[in-house]
Amino acid sequence: MKAAPALPDETIAVTVAEGEAGARLDKYLTDALAGKPEGGKLEGGRETAAAAPSRARIRQLIEEGHVALEGAGGAKPVAEPARRVKTGERWRVTLPPPAPAKPQGQAIPLEIVYEDQDLIVVMKPAGLVVHPAPGNPDMTLVNALVAHCGETLSGIGGERRPGIVHRLDKETSGLMVVAKSDRAHKGLSAQFAAHGRDGKLARAYTALTWGVPAKKRGVIDANIARSSHNRVKMATVKSRVGEDGDDITAGRIAITHYAVKAEYAGGLVARVECRLETGRTHQIRVHMTAIGHPLLGDPTYGTGMKSRKAKLSVDAQIALERLGRQALHAHHLGFEHPVTGEKMSFDAELPADMRALVAALEG
């Protein structure tokens, strides 16, 4: 394994050695950045073992376009964690600046649905980011939770997302559970990792979509990855055959179950319940768009709907403008209490902005 010194802007370059060909990209880079087998150092003496990214973090960096393959035409981002590396390939990994390890508590109002010594269930409003990240260093749900829970909030190894076991997009409202103890964090994380396949976890969302799906009930099974055309967006992708004939699984498995609950404005809009079998970034928004029914108000995936919007009543158009976000709300959350084993179930009505839009559509 040959590795070059760290380049400017926190970019690391590694070259695949002869004996390393055939490894998955995410596995290869995890080992390379950990300094294996050089005992914790990349070529040039750069220490990496203490702060080497985990495989999950490497996979995230790949999917977000921070990993590129050098070639004659320059470095080209590759968003396929399962891609097999080849001898002589030179890969560049860009590591974004780390966020503060310990978010500070901030006095942000919290709507608490349930709380005990091990966990807390809250109603996240639209517009609130879940945890600190580049571009949103503070004023997040985590900052509010730190202020409310203090030292009881669970954290692992100084993570900047203490207690967080799942998340909602900034402009998606709804129910969230957060761990307050290490035991609860471990138990809840396992349930969310299983995505309900063990019968413990249930999540349901209400979405308002453009048009009514032809099948009133169905399953969308389509892998999701970072879009190759716009790194801000996610997209459905298909597996393909690589140059060596191997099947390359693109993206990450994503499965959404949906059911049409109501139709409005003569079929211009549908109220759809979505239940997740997996939990990918923008999953519902991407999947509904993939079947031709993007969410109302979605600025990323719901563009190009001006002609449909013009057919809505004036009141509905005004309500949609006031919504100012994707019409998506996490209305149901069920899980097994990670400490007591009790079945927990919570339901939440639509927030005021979505209720106003539905009322206008019904009018």
Query: What is the bridge-based pairing of β-strands 328-336 and 173-179?
Result: parallel
CB 27 within 8 A of CB 54: no
- Cα-Cα-Cα-Cα dihedral sign, residues 41, 46, 47, 48: negative
Catalytic residue, chosen from 26, 31, 118, 169, is 169
Query: Can you tell me the distance from the alpha carbon of 357 to that of 363, in angstroms, rounded to the nearest whole number?
Result: 10
- 115 CB-near residues (< 8 Å, 6+ apart): 121
CA neighbor of 210 nearest in space, from 89, 295, 96: 295
Burial of residue 241, with CB atoms counted within 10 A of its CB: 0-12 exposed, 13-18 middle, 19 or more buried: exposed
Triad 236, 161, 7: Cα angle to 5°: 70
Pull the structure tokens for residue 44.
């040039």
CB 69 within 8 A of CB 78: yes
Q: Is 169 a catalytic residue?
A: yes
Positions annotated as catalytic residues are 169
